[in-house]
Every structure is written in structure tokens, then in C-alpha cells.
Amino acid sequence: MKRIAFSLFVLFIGTAIKAQPIQQTQKPPLHGINWMAITGKPLAATAGAIVFNKGGNAVDAALAMLASTCTMWDVLSWGGETQAIIYNPKTGKVISLNAMGVAPTGATPEFFKSKGYNFPPEYGPLAATTPGTPGGICYMLAEYGTMSLKEVLAPAMQLAAGYPIEAQTANSIERGKQRIKEWPYSKAVFLPHLGEKREAPEAGEIFVQKDLLNTLTKMVEAEQAALKKGASRKAAIMAAYDRFYKGDIADEFVRGCQEQGGLITKEDLAKWKPIWEEPTKINYKGIDVYKLQQWTQGPSMLQALNILENFDLKKMGYNSTEYIHTVYQAMNMAFADRDFYYGDPYFTPKEPMKGLLSKEYAKLRASQMNLSKNDPNVGPGDPYPFQNETNPYKSLLSQRGFAGFDTSRRSFLPAHDSGGLAMLDLEYQDRLWRGTTSVEAADKDGWVVSITPSGGWIPATIAGRTGVGMSQRMQSFVLDSAINPFNVVAPGKRPRVTLTPSLAMKDGKPYIAFAVQGGDTQDQNLLQFFLNMVEFGMTVQQATEAANINSNQLWLSLGGMKTDDRKPKAGSILLQDKTPASVREALKKMGYTLSFDDRTSGPINAIFFDWKHGSLWGGSSNHGEDYGIAW
């Protein structure tokens, strides 16, 4: 009945629903047999190639790229966080690593509320979780790599000794220099021309980071000293780990953090460690799609796929009006659940993931979808009956206007949206897309690695003389359980983050490894990238460049210490600026407020496994500086 209503609506407004044509790609696809390395900076991709050429496997190469992107401040730094999905060809299993830092001692809702915050701050020492990336590198290398830490960090150490900084990062430093000047150690590193008109480095200038080089040297020294004493390769790598989290590097990190007003203690660093986890997965039309657990937003893409499996997307046509509307509504439902039910699985309460990822729950959500217009009142559903439990948060949801889980009776609308929606402003857009890079690697032996590291982006607070920029991921916590009872800040807890590497398996073999930069848009872009390949037969490069849509009907995970900064923008949609006029007009009449940009799809990086021909295909978006090398 709803499908008929949609068709009548389209006939009424006299707008044809036509699939948008697939455009010729601006960048060629990558091809290789032996290995493939793709990441957010050309020099960092070269680092992966160097390690591959020295005999390393995909894990070694991925970690060389990760270390290099951190050193180049590719919207992350060494004090940020890392999360990875790895396919182990020796066992045929997909595993994942949780190297997300935790909230430090003293980080409580009461502490932040006493300072007048509605959310933890965006920048500065109080935004910092404990560093995760150094530990993540050590854990992955020790367990699945083949090289020493010295070999894997060699490219990053050369970069720290001095590299020609690119315009994107140099200009980002210049734009953020007023905030950078608030932190003495950041000022010393980022502003070599203090007092001049341009205080940041110029594009092409050799950017030197002596303190960071010293920190990395200390880690390598610890490893090499352990090897000389007869330690195993793994034990030697963990000696480097211990020096960072328990030794003199930790001492200086904590001193520098606390000197500038941060909360992180030596005990916080010593107690933290990465965690090997089972990834979450669903099956979409015979393809197993893997994501990290619910401390990330990754399962929201799986939820959206489950909902969309109930519709004939291919028949709708790529980016037709009906397709855009259906995908937007499915994403709204998935993100409403994300915003309320996701959090750190190692803390109580326990997230209802069995229900959220069940096919039966998805069918219910699909049946609730309004097919003729945007529903501004989409809220969290009730997954508990689908795991034979009673929802303990009905009263909380009732307070927010979602009583009964019936979309037809919902009246909740963010206050700032009630008077109409403005076009996206630059500040909001920055918050939506902020942070993260991606690292994709694969080799002829079958190892596959997908990583979306982040945290410590410019303007970052550097912790003392370590050269290490601190994470800003505390801002992804909430202080009020009415927003999300599973994601309230607490010492030792991980925030629910946007970071979301992906791996799809078909017929028991790797099919696509894919990831993207972009805050809350990550799983929106990756969902559409996946559908572009699976439903519309695009090549991996076409799928990375293809026009996507972005929904803003969600709670922002990043940016703004006021509730109004984070609230959903109901019906707000970002479209590619070549969207046909007929589609634009149809969407307006369906209740959408349209914004346009030439950047809507990335930067997505991906590897497709061509088992028919025994080769690798690489895709790297035409947005940004992302780059790949293959052989």
C-alpha cells in the first residue's frame, strides 16, 4: 500500500524518477598481483610500498602507513586512536582490534557539568582520551606482522626528521594558529615562523619534529635492547610498548598533559591496553559484511543494510528520487538507534545488539518507513523483544517523545529545527566530516587490513616534549543519559566513536576492504559505496567517486559543547551538485531541505579482490590527497 502511495505521489508532482548516469572516473583504478597499499597521503602510501618491497606482509605495510599518516598529521596524530579489521588467511577468520583510548581519571559528568559543558570539549587537554595508536601498532605488529618495529617505523622516523609539508596540512595549521598558541608545546612544533604574517610552515617547507623523532627512537631502542638480551620478536615489540605506556615516555606525556590542564595519569596509561575482539557482521544477499563492535558506529551500516534488504534498490535505480529517499530513511532509523543504544560493551548497561542486528527487527523498521515523504520524527526503535527481553528504557524514550515506538504518533522535533532548516554552514559541515584517515592493505598471501585511525587532529595539544598530539575523542561521550544511557562518560570507558573500517567476504573469501574519512558521514558513504558495487555493478574506482547523499538527521558525534550544536537537522540532506533538477524538485516536495557540494562521497579507499583473474583492484576517491600504490 505504501509503495502505491509513493508512486501516486510522484505522478501527482509530475516528476520523473530516473537513475542518474554513472560518470567516467577522474582517477584510474589501481591494479596489482602481489600487494596493494592505499591511504590518506601519497608519502604514506609510499611508506607502505617501501615495507612491501622489503618483504613485509599487509600488516607490516599497513602499520608503516599508519605510523606515517600520524607523523604527517593527516587529521590524526600519534596520541589518537586506532581500530582495525584484519583477515587472517592462515585461519580463514576475520578479527578486529580495539585500540581506542579511554576516559581518564576524574572524567565524570559532574566534572564537565561543573565547567558549564553539555558535552566534553572539542579541543585541548580535557578532550583527550588515553593514546591508543602506539599500542595498536605494537599489538598488531607483534601478533600478525613479520618485521621488527624498527623496520616498520623507519619511514615515519625519516618523515619526523623532516619532510616537505603539503599545502593541506600547512594551511590547516595556519587556520588553527590562534588556538595552537594556547598550548606551548604545540606552538613550538607547528609555528616555526612565530611573529611573522604567516606563522605556519609554507607548502613544501621541510617540517621537522625533533621531539616526536626522539619518542619513536626511544621505542625502537627499547625493542632493540630487548632483542640483544635474547627476547623474542614479540617480547621485544612489547618492550617498546611498555616504554611508551609505563616508562619515561609515559612520564613526559603525563607531565605535559597535566601541566596544560589535562586529567590523564600515569596509572591511566599503565592500565590501558588494546583488545582483540570478534567483529559484528550481517549477511546481505549472500555477502558477509564485517564491522567493529558497538563502541563504534559500524553496526549502524549493518542495520541499514538489513533494512534496505527489504526493498528492490536495483529496480529503483542509482540515485533516483525513490532510491535517495529510501536510503535516507533507512540511515535515519539506523542512526537513531546508534545515537541511543550504542556504547562501550565493557561497561553496563549492556547494549541490545542481538535485537538491533536481527533481520526481524529490520523488517519491522522497514514496515514503519514513510515512503512518500521524509519523517522528521524518526527515533530509536525497540530491539529488545527481538532478543526476548523488555526494554528498560521505555520511560526514558517516552520523555523524548518516542513512546510506543510508533512513528505516526511521534511529535519530537529538535527545537532549532521547528522554524525551518537553514542550509549547511561551514562549521556544522566541519563537525560532520571531521577527523580520521583510512589505511587499506592486501598481499598475495591473503592478508587483508582495513584501519580507520583518528584523533589528535590539528589544532592538537602536544603533550610535553613527546611530540605526541593528544586525542580529542572525549567529545564523543555524552553527559546526559537521556541522550544515550550507554555512552555516558566514566573513567576507564571508551566513547562511542565514528571510526569504522569495513570488510566484506563472499564465498568464504575477501571481497572488498573499504574505509573512509569523515566523522558521522563515514557509514553513510560506506553504505552507498557498498551498494554501488553490489546493486549497481560499479567498479571499485567508480564506487569511490560516485555521488552520495549525506543525512544530517542525526546527533553529531563531534563538535560543540552545547546541546543545540549537536541536535539532528531533520530533513537536511547534502546532494552532489550535479543532481538533476527533477530529483531536486521531487525531494523538496517530499519535505527535504537541500544543500549541494561537489564533495559528497569520500575520500573512500578500497580494495576489491578479483578472484576470477587472480588480481587486486584498488579504488581511491578523487577527493582529498588519498593515494595508492600497487604491484
DSSP conformation letters of 541-610: HHHHHS---EE--S--SSS-SSHHHHS--TTEEEEETT--HHHHHHHHHTT-EEEEES--S--EEEEEEE
pLDDT tens per residue across span 55-101? 999 999 999 999 999 999 988 999 999 999 999 999 999 999 999 99
pLDDT at position 456 is 95
On the question of pLDDT at 186 being above 80, the answer is yes
Least confident among 9-13, 154-158, 375-379? 9-13
Chain-centroid distance of CA 600 in Å reads 16
pLDDT at position 599 is 78
Least confident among 165-169, 387-391, 439-443, 444-448? 165-169
Alpha helices in 115-165 (DSSP H): 133-144, 149-161
Could you please report the per-residue DSSP string of 367-395? HT--SSS--TT------GGGGT---TTHH
Pair 116, 168: CB distance under 8 Å: no
pLDDT tens per residue across span 485-505? 999 999 999 999 999 999 999
Could you please report the per-residue DSSP string of 526-558? HHHHHHHHHTT---HHHHHHS---EE--S--SS
pLDDT at position 152 is 98
**The C-alpha cell that represents 491 in the structure block:** 573513567
3-class secondary structure per residue, 84-117:
EEEEECCCCEEEEEEECCCCCCCCCHHHHHHCCC
Half-sphere CA count of 369, side-chain side, radius 13 A: 26
Pair 584, 20: CB distance under 8 Å: no
Tell me how far apart the alpha carbons of residues 367 and 269 are, in angstroms, rounded to a whole number: 47
Tell me how far apart the alpha carbons of residues 126 and 534 are, in angstroms, rounded to a whole number: 43
Tell me how far apart the alpha carbons of residues 213 and 228 are, in angstroms, rounded to a whole number: 22
Write the single-letter amino acid at 274: P
Tell me how far apart the alpha carbons of residues 67 and 86 are, in angstroms, rounded to a whole number: 17
Reported as a pLDDT band with limits 50, 70 and 90, residue 175 is very high
pLDDT at position 402 is 62
Reported as a pLDDT band with limits 50, 70 and 90, residue 23 is low
On the question of pLDDT at 14 being above 50, the answer is no
pLDDT at position 142 is 98
Pair 521, 431: CB distance under 8 Å: no
On the question of pLDDT at 432 being above 70, the answer is no
Closest C-alpha among 519, 294, 309, 301 to residue 429: 519
Reported as a pLDDT band with limits 50, 70 and 90, residue 417 is very low
The model carries a pTM of: 0.92
Chain-centroid distance of CA 385 in Å reads 30
On the question of pLDDT at 36 being above 80, the answer is yes
Mean pLDDT over 182-207 rounds to: 98
Write the single-letter amino acid at 321: T
Proportion of the chain above pLDDT 70, given as a percent:
91
